[in-house]
Structure 1
Amino acid sequence: MSSSFDLSSLGWHDGLQALLPGGTVPGRVARVHRGAAEVLAADGEHHVRFGAQVRRAAADDPIALPCVGDWAALHRLDEGRYELAEVLPRTTAFVRGGVSRDSRGGLSGDGQGQVLAANVDVVFVAEPAMHASDFADLGRIERLVALAWESGARPVVLITKPDLLDLGLDDLLTDVSAAAPGVAVHPVCSPTGEGLDLVRAHLTGSPGSGSPGSGTAVVLGPSGAGKSTLVNALAGTDVMATQQVRAADGRGRHTTVHREMIMLPGGGLIIDTPGIRRVGLYDMSDGVDLVFSDIEDLAENCRFSDCAHTAEPGCAVLAAVESGELPERRLDSWRRLRREARWMATRTDARLRSEESRKWKIIHKEMRRSGRNRP
């Protein structure tokens, strides 16, 4: 990589400068290791360790852990190295919840989240054409788009590998567009270059970026969706390793094992990510409602303002399902994501209450100890 960087090409602007602590210099996190990160600064790329303040913040809240896309305040040590002294406030953050399945098939987790990417303008949701028409995959698109809206970034759905679909691409695009109302949906064939100009346009025209061509995107999707192939096509060279999808089951291998930010020659930055098997919702407010805006619009015509759309008389949502206007699959997906979002909210509240209780127990213990040690 270059020995120096124009910070404006990384997205740096005057608003961030005002947040920079005195005695530090800015850098953008390109890759994270355990307790350290690769950071791009004006004087080059540096391997920096996390400072004490960063480690303490991350111990209290995993969301505070530095991640790819973060802007960081770097403090120069006496020996000439930098340390990552502080993470600057994020404009956007793509956070997944710590949700998993327990041995009985139920939801489990601790309410803690993980930031997959920060300060991102666009979230590219990549779904391979050969799978995207399955109900489960439409549900995955809805889930990732909900998280994208919640992050504060703009979601865009990319249907990759359209050349592997013999027939029905137009019908597929119609189904995906219905699953993500108001979201741009593009077919993209990385080997031939079809659709790449549309992808680049979302980067070079990203609102909120520091300057033209400085937009940042993250690519999310399952293994085998062609995320790394897309990044290589945009970069014009093989910056990420790729593998073929397994012929036996059509699934991809986890080629990318870490998140990494890549500078693109035509302007903008893109973050490649490992394939996502399952991503839980986290701290949802409007994301689910935005994905299911069609259901929200129908609900305005329900007889009761608090209609749950289950068996209430005069329910416009159930009437739309009955008439075929609204797919039953979509209503089921809405119910599932709403239920999960509520569940995660209760888990998060319980964790915060537990941490607050633990903090005060420590304080009271120290007060009692101090009292016993007084002369």
Structure 2
Amino acid sequence: MASIEFKGVSKRYGDSPAHPVVVPGLDLHIRDGEFMVLVGPSGCGKSTILRMIAGLESISGGGLWIGGERVNDLPPKDRDIAMVFQSYALYPHMTVFENLAFGLRVRKQPQAEIERRVHQAADTLGLSDLLARKPGQLSGGQCQRVALGRAMVRDPQVFLFDEPLSNLDAELRVQMRANISRLHREFGTTSVYVTHDQVEAMTLGSRIAVLNDGALMQVGTPMELYTDPENAFVAGFMGAPPMNLSQVRNTGSALVNGLLRLPLAHLQGLPGRLQLGLRPEQLCLAAAAPAHWPRVRGAIELAESLGAEMLVHVAAGEARMVARLPGLQSLMAGEAVELAFDPSSIYLFDADSGARLPVTAPVVAEPTC
């Protein structure tokens, strides 16, 4: 096992300053034995960062250390890293056993050691009955387990995962997330996992690094990112559904938009344009809320019934919110609805910079809509 440290690491495709910088000076420490998830929208640089760890992409600036060794110029084969790709990349003419054993044979491991490691990985991943089959005879989930096993038998100091579950259906993704999480608990190998799916990030990561346009937005545990986002991007990206972010106007005494008017004390000194953040689960039907809670009135655009809960999309003019409500309710698109929320649960962000702003002021008057 080994820690991974980025110190001012940058990546530019091409030598000219005119070429775009994909990763602008990344500083990130991944602890020994940690499961770090890199998450962000497509094109944010997360796979490029992973490939720099693997040695598949050169580093334009800064330094990268693995296990205390600077590896900027170290070839991939000398980094003691195993990588699981989005595509299974299995050899179709080889059996499962031969696919699992291939990397060990290349490294000229003794046959007895190859047998031991392959059977150990097969037992762990439930592949023992499939060792004589070829990839064309396997399901997608079985192929992905073979790809995981091929990385496991190497016993590397670092595992790298590049969106390994994106080709699987929803049920298999849940099963494979459980397998990957269990393997990390058993082996404790330092792991870096790339995904654009924040649900995968929240369920797998010891810590999560949120990226946008190559820049690191925030690093923290799943709950830290969810409950204490440092900026509007992290607030709007983490969570399913994500946080409601509504543009509001600061009048000096209240926050106003098409859905609500929320009087607050001490708004003076804050920007005139703000974003108000509310998690969907912080909204409830007004009839069940205390009388002093602020109200949100609008029309239901969509009511998603998910059994135990409902996701209700509410609109008033250009303002939109999603509420997570208890299920089995007769709410339908087109109906008027009144929601409420605890005023202490709001988040405020600068509308221009996205920076989080402190919310220390209590509501000073009964809000009106």
What TM-score do you get using the length of structure 2 for normalisation? 0.24
Structure with greater proportional helix content: 1
Higher-Rg structure is 2
What TM-score do you get using the length of structure 1 for normalisation? 0.24
